[in-house]
Amino acid sequence: MWKKRWLWVLAIILVSFVGAKYVLLDTPALAGAPYSIDTEALHRVAIASGPLPERLEVERLGTFAFPKKLVVAGDSFHMHTMVLLSHRVVWPNRSLIIDTGSTVETAKKMPGAKMDEGAYNRMHAALKKADTILLTHEHSDHIGGVASHPDFPSIAKRLIVTREQINGPMLERKEFSPGKLEQLAPLEYTGLYAVAPGVVIQKAPGHTQGSQLIYVELANGTRYLFVGDIAWAFENITRERGRPRLAELLMKEDRAAVASQLISIHGLPKDVHVIVAHDPEALKRDLESGLVKQGFTNL
C-alpha cells in the first residue's frame, strides 16, 4: 500500500514540475492591445529640426550570460552570452549617447560577467563631451554609466530622463549617491518627440514603465530603431516570441504589451535597422556591415 502511495506522490510531483515548467518557462505571452510604430511619421519628425548626424558608434562595455530559456520562452537551458552596449550618435559638431551600461559593481553580480575597462572609460569620457544623453529604459544595466560617473553634475543637465523612468519602480535608486537624482529635470512628452536633429523618441511601456523607442536617421538615409530590452535577442523579434512568465515575475514586466511591441517591430520596413541592446550576434552583423562603427572616437 505504501509503495502505491509513494508512486502517486511522485507522479503528482512530476506532473506539477512539468506543469510549472510549461507555465513559467515555455509559454510565450499573448499580445495585448496593438502597438503602432509609424516609421514615416518618425522620419518626418527626425528631419524637421536641422542637419542629420553622420555616423553611429558603439562600445562593447562587457558581457554576461543568462540561460537561453529566460531570453526566449521555450528555448533550451544552455547559457546565452549577452552584451552590455553604449551607442554614440555623431554630428560634425555634437554627439548623443544612447544607454550607458551597468556600474562595474552591479556587473560583477551578473552571471559570467566580464567588463572591458578601456571601453567603460571611453564611455565615461564620451558622456562628459556629449550634448545629449538618452536611455532606452531605467534598468541598472542601461543607466549605470550615468549613476557611476565621477562628474555627475556636469552630465546631469544633458541627461534626458523621462518622468516614467525616474519615477519607475525598476529604477535602482541605491546606485545613485544622495542628491544625484534631485539634480535631474524629468521630461514629460506625448507622441513623438525630437531630442536632436535625426533623433526621435516614442514611449513603449511594457518591459519597464519608462521603456521607449529611440529612432535615429543619418544624413546618408540610414535608419535605426533602438528597442532597448523589448527584445534581449534578435530571435525574440524574428520569432515574435518574448521572455517566459518567470522573467515577467522577476522583472514585473507587462508581457502582453511586450508581445504587441515585438509584432510591430517584426513588421517594420526592411530599411529600418533594429538595434537590440544585448545580442552579440546582431552586434557582430552590424559591425561587419558597417551600420555601426567600433569604438567612440575623438575623445
51: left (phi over 0), alpha (psi -120 to 50) or beta: beta
pLDDT in tens, 222-266: 999 999 999 999 999 999 999 988 887 788 899 999 999 999 999
Q: Give residue 1's pLDDT.
A: 53
Q: Which long-range contacts (CB under 8 A, 24 or more apart) does 22-25 make?
A: 23/245, 24/244, 24/245, 24/246, 24/249, 25/69, 25/70, 25/73, 25/74, 25/244, 25/245, 25/246
Determine, yes or no, domain membership for 46.
yes
Q: The domain spanning residue 76 has which CATH number?
A: 3.60.15.10
Q: Are strands 132-134 and 95-98 parallel, antiparallel or unpaired?
A: parallel
Domain of residue 104 covers 29-294
Number of domains in the chain: 1
Q: Which of 293, 299, 235, 274 is nearest to 89 (CA)?
A: 293
Determine, yes or no, domain membership for 22.
no
Entry field: residues in the chain:
299
Burial per residue of 219-244, b for 16 or more beta-carbon CB atoms within 10 angstroms, e otherwise: eeebbbbbbbbbbbbbbbbebbbbbb
Per-residue pLDDT for 7 more than 70? no
Determine, yes or no, domain membership for 21.
no
DSSP class of 22: I
State the Cα–Cα distance between residues 181 and 117, nearest whole angstrom. 25
Q: Give residue 24's pLDDT.
A: 58
Cβ atoms 100, 145 nearer than 8 A: yes
Q: Are strands 132-134 and 223-226 parallel, antiparallel or unpaired?
A: unpaired
Per-residue pLDDT for 10 more than 60? no
Cβ atoms 33, 260 nearer than 8 A: yes
| pTM, to two decimals | 0.92
Helix (H, G, I), strand (E, B) or coil at 64: strand
pLDDT interval class at 271 (50, 70, 90): very high
pLDDT interval class at 18 (50, 70, 90): very low
pLDDT in tens, 26-77: 677 788 999 999 999 999 999 998 999 999 999 999 999 989 988 998 888 8
Determine, yes or no, domain membership for 282.
yes
pLDDT interval class at 16 (50, 70, 90): very low
Task: Considering only residues 207 and 245, tell me which one the structure prediction assigns the higher pLDDT.
Answer: 207
The whole-chain average pLDDT of the chain stands at: 90
pLDDT in tens, 137-189: 999 999 999 999 999 999 999 999 999 999 988 888 888 888 899 999 999 99
Q: Give residue 20's pLDDT.
A: 46
What's the whole-number mean pLDDT along residues 95-108? Answer: 90
